[in-house]
Structures are given as C-alpha cells and as structure tokens.
Structure 1
Amino acid sequence: GNIVKKYFTTEINRTGPESPVYHNDPYMDTPYTGDSASIIYTEKSLGSFGCIFDVFFYPLDRQKCTINFTIASGQIDITDEFVRAEYSGNRRLNAFEITEVGVYVRSYDEDDVVEINFTLVRLPMHVLVVTFVPSLMILAIGYATLYLENSLQQDRLTVSLSSLLVLYTLFNQTSSILPKTSYVTMVDFWFLFCISMLFGVII
C-alpha cells in the first residue's frame, strides 16, 4: 500500500432546542440551560496512514481510502446529519486527483466511529505518453516490415529483431517504475501482446 499524508478537518454540529424566552427575567441576557446550546466541535489532525491500492487497471485505476476516527461511548452522540468532512488542500496531487470525499457514522462495540472515505483517480497522461505511445510505435515499425519485398527478408528480420529487443528493454524499464504487485496488471498484458505480435512478425 501507499502512504498518503494529508490534512482533514472534521466538524460535529449538535443542535438542541431553542432557549425559552422569559420576558420577566431580570437576567434574561445572561443564563441559559446547557441542553439548549448549539455546540460546534472542530478538530484538525495531521498523520500518516496506509491505503491498500489495487493497481490491476493501472494507469486507469481508481483507489478508495478510508480514515476512521473512534469516539469512546458515553462521551458524545453522533449522527450523520451533524457530521461533515472537507478536504481543504489541492485536489490535484502529483499522480492522483481527489474526486470524492464522504463521511459516515458507524457503531462498533458501542463506540461511534466517524468514517471518512475519499476516492483517488490516477492521472494517466504521463504513463500513457512514456509507456504506451513508444511501445505502439515500436509495434508499428515491426509490423511494417511485413510489407517489404521478398528480396529484403534479411533487412526485415534485422529490423524486427531490433524492434523486439527495444520493446523488451522498454518493458524492463517500465516494470522498474511500476507499483510492485504479486499479480499481473494491464500494463503486463499490453507488453505481452506487443511482444507476441513482434514475435509473430519474425516467424
């Protein structure tokens, strides 16, 4: 999983009934009962947390991360209508864009848990330009050798083998910068397809 460090502000708004008005009270501008007060609780937290990514569809993947804040039972009652979460930073990050931020209240073992969910959408343009476009051009060069005359078979074989070698080198370079996974991703399938096509051109 990747480590994401960001600021989040949580706000809990608990509103009770309005204070009754006593026109004959000489101290009407001073006291009021506690259950008639509107209490707003704001807390800013800075921390690191892990988020498990599923990068099978890399670089067109979407990741959902969750942060949980647990409030011990008996301290305060929390409901969904009085809880909200806002992301105050730049939503466009280095490799992702934050598109959705939601907050929910859950109850576990009599404790209230404020669950903040946010969605990360990867920005794929850089990966597409440096990975898929070059590999597609190499594949096109190798495929174009099929249209050479029969008298140039030696040249066709040389160009095809060179294209296959360059593509394999590009695959190794790309694999070194991709997220490390124990499963095959779409990028692996793409390069396997390109290598298979060039191998078919050679034979």
Structure 2
Amino acid sequence: MQLIVEDDYNLHEIPRTENQQPLLISASINIRNILEVDEKDQIVSMETTLRLYWKDPRIKPKYEALSSYDSRGNYTNLHSSLANTIWMPDIFLDHAKTIRTPTFFSKPASLRVYNDSTIRYSARINFDVACNMDFRNYPADDQSCELKFQSFGLQRSQVHFTWIPNSINVNEHIYLSQFVFRIHAMDSYSTDYYDISYPGLKLQLHLTREIGYHIVQTYIPSTLFLVLGWMGLFINPDSIPGRVGMGTTTLLTQTSMFSSTRAHVPKVSYVTYLDVWMLFCMFFVFSTMVEFISILILIRQKRFKLAKKVQRLTRLTLPCIFMLFNLAYWPNVMYERWTGNHWAHNHIK
C-alpha cells in the first residue's frame, strides 16, 4: 500500500477544511480535438482531458512511494481504479448528449497523491454536447457554446470550483472546415434555476463562420444565374420557346440551389441573410418572366411603342435594383460579422 489513510476514513464524507470553508476544487482542461460541429442537430463533438485537484488531509502518500516530481511537488502514481475507494467530486457535463471513453484495455485515467495530500484525478473524455445556435446572420454568423461542468449533489456551501490560471491548453493543429474557433475559461458559477445552488465551471467555445465557402458555392453561382435571367431580356420577344425555357430553367435551378443550402441548417421559423439573398435572386428572375408576358400582351394589343418603352425600362431598372440591393445587403452582413467578432475579441482573450 502506497498511502497512509486515517482509520476512520469514509469515502462518503467530504474532506475537511479549515474554518469549515467550502472545499476548493481546481480544474484544468486540454482540448485535444474538435471532431465535428453539427449545425443541423446543433451539437459539438470534442475530445478533452479534464484534470481535477483537491486536498484530502485524511490521505497521505508514504515517503518511500514518492517516486515522481512536478511543479506541485513530489507525488505517487496510483492505478485509476483506486478512485473508487476514495472521495471523488460528483462532477458531470450539463447538456451532454453522449459521453464516450476511448478505452483500449484500461480506462485512460490517472490518479496522483502529492506529499501535501493534494489529489489529482485526470481522465480522457470525448463527448457530444448540445449548443443552442442562432442562424439569423447565416452565413456570416457567430455561435457561442457553453460547456458546463457542474456538481450534481454538492451545494455551493460545500464545494467551490475554479479554473487554474492559464490551464486551458488547446491543440494548435485543430482545424475546422467552416469555422474559426476561440475557447475561453469563464469564471465559476452556481445554478440559479434550482431551489439549491450547485457550483460548477464554464468553458465557452466561440465559432466564427468562414464565409468563403458560401461565396464560392452560393453567392457567385446565384449571381451568374441572375445575370443570365437579365440577359434573357435582350432576346427577341418573338422567340417564345427560348425566353420561356431560359426563364423557367434559371428559376428552377435557383430553387434547387436554395433547397440544398437550407438542408445544412435546422428548420428555423425566422429568415436568415442567405434566405434574403436567395429569395431576391428568385424574385429577380421571376420579374423577367413577368416582363416577358407583359411585352407579349402589349404586342398582341398592337401597342408596340409602349412595349418597347417597357422593354428598355426593365433592361435598365433591373440591374440598378440589383446594385441597390447589394449596397444595402453587404454592409448589413459585414456589420453583423464585425459586431460578432468585436464581442468575441472583448469577451474571449
């Protein structure tokens, strides 16, 4: 046995503290990987290593067992299965959908006891956690996800959690295809939605979407189809099959593009910036079809001069309307993006 344990030790009792103060439990975390950001299900998958430190004066390592040393002092390594025989914090991950342990033969965890009775428990956990997302500014949106590590049964008067300063280690090789991310350890908190206040820790993940994908895959192609619909105005009205075929094909293609882009986000009741863009493009192409039908009606009524005036007017006004729309659309998109990044810069450092 590598430990000296008091005879009346009870693993169901919280370690005693001076002046009956809440037991301080310090934590650090290593973000090993962000596996996936599932926007449709609003779930983030992560690989982490969580470490907890606390003092239990009822347990001390034997002098001859102090075989290792780090910045905290001398310590002895114990098998992680011995954690079942000592008092452990009852911490859990709030809003977690799935928690996985990447076990090969034994659980990836370690247990240390320092010469000053400090206990460190470290474990590797992978999890899928719910993240409430707001897509109003999509595809120039910023998302903030809170990871809450909370005590299940111990009250605020019994334990106090805190992050160790500068202890949030993030793998610099993590790369997300559509997001730039920042991670920030927030101050400890206590629940305010129960009759009893339970302490915990927060870790905030801030995601800023890279808009380049949608510019190449959505904005540029939809603009080309919009220009193609406008160019149809220069086709002779006598060429009815050509005008109708070009207009309907362009409108159907844009509708299909709109449906494919909406398939990547949840079915939300509000309108996003991308919805505004796609709806405008569809309305633009639809207006070219309305112009063509109006011209045909005027020609059949033998009002040729009015038909030519309407034709010239629409050829000039439609591109002007498109330019005005862009002058109103993109400043709003960039403003929302700048304000989101500005908020993240001030709150996540």
TM-score under structure 2 normalisation?
Answer: 0.44
CA RMSD of aligned residues (A): 3.3
Residues of 2 paired with 1:42 and 1:59: CA distance? 41
- Contact in 2 for aligned 1:11/1:83 (Cα 8 Å): no
- What count of residue pairs does the alignment treat as equivalent? 183
1:165 partnered with 2:232: no
Paired amino acid for 2:131 = C
Q: How much does 1:37 deviate?
A: 4.5
8 Å Cα contact 1:12-1:84 kept in structure 2? no
Aligned match for 1:189, one of 263, 267, 276? 276
For the 8 Å contact 1:138–1:163, the answer to whether it is kept is yes
Deviates more, 1:159-168 or 1:188-197: 159-168
Structure 2 distance, partners of 1:13, 1:116, is: 17
**Partners in 1 of 2:142 and 2:119 — Cα distance?**
34
d(CA) in 1 for partners of 2:224, 2:202: 46
C-alpha change, 1:42 and 1:136, in structure 2 (3 Å) is farther
Alpha-carbon separation, structure 2, partners of 1:70 and 1:97: 27
Please say if residues 91 and 99 of structure 1, whose CA atoms lie closer than 8 Å, have aligned partners that are also in contact: no
**Aligned amino acid, residue 257 of structure 2:** L
Per-residue deviation at 1:138?
0.1
Please state how far the C-alpha of 1:85 moved relative to its aligned partner: 2.9
- SS class of match (1:60): coil
Quick check: 183-192 or 80-89, which moved more? Answer: 80-89
Partner residue of 2:183? 100
Distance (whole Å) between structure 2 residues aligned to residue 40 and residue 178 of structure 1:
45
Question: How far has the Cα of 1:194 moved from its partner?
Answer: 0.5
In the other structure, the counterpart of 2:331 is none
Look up the match of 1:61.
141
Q: Which has the larger radius of gyration?
A: 2
Q: Which runs of 5+ in 1 are unaligned?
A: 16-35
1:5 maps to what in 2? Answer: 45
Q: Write out per-residue CA displacement over residues 76-118 of structure 1, whole angstroms, 9 at most, x where no aligned residue.
A: 4344565843333743224333223333211334532111111
Percent identity of equivalent pairs? 24
Q: Deviations over 1:5-46 (max 9, x none)?
A: 21234456789xxxxxxxxxxxxxxxxxxxx95957453333
Structure 2 letter corresponding to 1:52: N
Structure 2: gaps spanning 5 or more residues: 1-40, 56-114, 291-349
* Cα distance in 2 for residues equivalent to 1:83 and 1:111: 25
The TM-score with structure 1 as length reference comes to 0.71
The answer to which structure, 1 or 2, has the higher relative contact order (CA under 8 A, 6+ apart) is: 1
